[in-house]
Chain A
C-alpha cells in the first residue's frame, strides 16, 4: 500500500462533505430572485461602473518575487532534513546559497522593491 493512499481517500471524503454542504442549502433555502438582489454590491447604490481598471504593478512584483523565493525555500527542506549528516559541509554549502540570494535580496531592497506606498 502506498503511504499516501489514505491521504487521497481523506481528500475524497472531504470532497463529499463539501458537496453535501452545498447541496443541502439548495434544497432547504427559499429562492425569490429579483434584479435588485442580483446586482453587484456597492454599498446600496447601483453599481457605478464595470469592474475594470488597473492595479498597481507592485502586486505583480510581489507575486514574481514570491515565485523566486519559494523555489529557494523549497530547496531548504531536503537540506534541513540532512543537516545532521552533512554537518559543516552542509552549512558551508547553504551559506554560499544564501549569500548569493542575499545579494539579490539586497538589490531589491535598495531599488525599493519591497517599499510599499
Chain B
C-alpha cells in the first residue's frame, strides 16, 4: 500500500513536470520516469505482461521516436522559442475532461467488485513460475488473446498495416525516391555527374 502511494506520487509528479517543463528533452526524461513508474505499478498488481509491454513498447519504442524528433529538430541546447501561453484558454475544458474521466472511472470501479478473480486463475507466487494459468502472466494473456479476443487481435494487424503504409506515404514526399519508375533521385544523378567528371 505504501508502495502504491509512493508510485502514485511519482506518477503524478512526473506527469506534471512533463507538462510544465519548457525544455522538450526534460519533458521526455520525466515522461520516461512516468512510464517506468507505471510499469512498476503494473508489476505490483501482478500484471507482469502488461508491465513488460508498457516498458518495451512505450519507453523502448514510442519514446525513442520522441527523443529522435526532439534531439534532431532542436539540436541546439535550450528550450524551443516560446509560443503564446495557451494554458488559460484550455484550462476549463481540461478540468471538465478530467472530472468526466474521474467520474467514469469511479462509476466503473463501483460496478466491478474489487479483489475478485476469474475462477480458473490464481495470483502469482514464487512456486508458480512457468505455469500458464497464473493471473496476468504471459500465458494467461495468450490464452485470452488468442481464443476469446481473437477478432480485436486480427483487426490490430490491419491497423498496424495501415500505420506502416502511412509512415511511408508521409515520409516519402520527395525524400524517398521510388526504386522503380522514371524519377531519378537528385543525389544519384549528382553522384553520376561527378563520376563522369572524374572519368574525364
Q: Does A19 contact B (CB under 8 A)?
A: no
Count of chain B residues near A, Cβ 8 A: 59
Do A97 and B154 touch (CB < 8 A)? yes
A-contacting residues, B142-178, CB 8 Å: 142-143, 145-147, 150, 153-154, 156-158, 160-165, 167-168, 171-172, 175-178
Do A55 and B163 touch (CB < 8 A)? no
Query: Bound state CA distance, A68 and B156, in angstroms?
Result: 11
Do B163 and A68 touch (CB < 8 A)? yes
Residues of A close to B146: CB separation below 8 A: 78-79, 82, 86, 89-90, 93
Write out, one digit per residue, whether chain B residues 130-151 have a CB within 8 A of any chain A CB (1) or not (0).
0010000011011101110010
Do A75 and B126 touch (CB < 8 A)? no
| One of B11-19, B23-31, B45-53, B106-114 at the interface | B45-53
The residue that A51 contacts in the complex, of B76, B154, B168, with Cβ under 8 A, is B76
The residue that B75 contacts in the complex, of A51, A63, A66, A67, with Cβ under 8 A, is A51
Do B153 and A63 touch (CB < 8 A)? no
Query: Bound state CA distance, A41 and B96, in angstroms?
Result: 51
Give the number of residue pairs across the A-B interface with Cβ within 8 Å.
Answer: 166
Q: A63-B68, A64-B167 are in contact. Are A112 and B75 (CB under 8 A)?
A: no
B-contacting residues, A22-54, CB 8 Å: 50-54
Do B165 and A3 touch (CB < 8 A)? no
Q: Does B79 contact A (CB under 8 A)?
A: no
Residues of A close to B125: CB separation below 8 A: 1, 3
Besides A78-B145, A117-B188, 10 new A-B residue pairs in contact (Cβ under 8 A), listed by A number: A3-B124, A60-B69, A61-B171, A67-B64, A74-B53, A79-B142, A97-B154, A107-B165, A108-B167, A113-B168
